[in-house]
Amino acid sequence: MNKRKVKYTEKSIKNIKIIDDFLPQPKDLVLKEETAKITISLTKSSIDFFKNEAEKYNTNYQTMIRNLIDKYASKYAC
C-alpha cells in the first residue's frame, strides 16, 4: 500500500483555528506538589505510555499524569 503524506496549509483547512502545542514534554512532568486522591479511568495505551516515560526518568507515572493535568488547567484557569 502506497502511503502519501498530506501537507495541510491554512488555506486548505477552513473554519479551523490552529493553536501552538502547549503541552509539556514528559521530562517536565516530574515535579512534586500537594495532592488529593481521586479515581479516574484511563485507556491502557495512555497508562502504558506514561509508565514507559516514568521509567526513563525514574519517577512515578501518576505524578507525570497529575502534572500534565495541572499544566493544562493552569493554561486555561480564569
Q: Is residue 19 part of a domain?
A: no
* Cell numbers that stand for 3 in this block: 502511503
Q: Looking at the chain, how many residues does it have? A: 78
User: Domain of 41?
Assistant: 28-76
Is residue 12 in a domain?
A: no
Number of domains in the chain: 1
Contacts of 48 (CB under 8 A, 6+ apart): none
HSE-up (13 A, CA, CB side) for residue 65: 16
Of 45 and 33, the structure prediction assigns the larger pLDDT to 45
Q: How confident is the model at residue 23 (pLDDT cuts 50, 70, 90)?
A: confident
pTM assigned to the model? 0.57
pLDDT at residue 2 tops 80: no
